[in-house]
Amino acid sequence: MSMEALKDYDFSLQYHPGKTNVVVDALSRQNVLVSSLMVKEQELLEKFGDLNLDVEFSPRDLKLSMITISSGLIEDIQKYKFDDELLQNTRQLMVQGKAPEFKVGPHNILHCNKRICVPTMDKIKEFILEEAHKSKLSFHSRCAKI
């Protein structure tokens, strides 16, 4: 509260030294609360550091970056995208406006109707098939038939 706001009130301030101040108020607790919060903050920052999270903090904010888990597939597609002649021809058609269903998405990878265009490389095809078969989230359609 500013002095400007206080001038409208009729009050008096009285100092009570040490033990005579039996009523504990928010101001006398503030230092203890702030120091305990700082200890907790430090503990959390150490735990975040152990998780390899990127932590940025300012007086008003604490920002944690998201954890990114990658199988390496996107990196391989990005690495070999220029080795595929069909993808290169498609890129040229897209630039000329002759392939409107194609777009360049994140990581400069070609997409068709919001699906990633994969270079025709055996290594990448095998990886995709292997992941599709071993993933706990995928199954063969005939497994679901009764």
The residue to which tokens 């068709």 are assigned:
112
Average pLDDT of the chain, as a whole number:
76
* 65-97 tens-digit pLDDT: 755 666 788 888 888 888 889 999 999 999 999
Same domain, yes or no, for 89 and 60? no
Same domain, yes or no, for 140 and 81? yes
Same domain, yes or no, for 48 and 21? yes
Residue 102 pLDDT exceeds 90: yes
For residues 65 and 92, give the distance between their C-alpha atoms in angstroms, rounded to a whole number: 36
List the domain range (segments joined by +) for residue 55: 3-64
Strand partners, 112: 102, 115
Number of domains composing the chain: 2
Q: Which two tokens stand for residue 39?
A: 């200890």
* 9-36 tens-digit pLDDT: 777 777 767 666 666 555 555 556 667 7
Residue 104 pLDDT exceeds 50: yes
For residues 93 and 100, give the distance between their C-alpha atoms in angstroms, rounded to a whole number: 9
Q: Is pTM beyond 0.95 here?
A: no
- Which stretches of 84-140 are assigned E, i.e. beta strand? 102-104, 110-112, 115-116
From 64, 94, 115, the end of a domain falls on 64
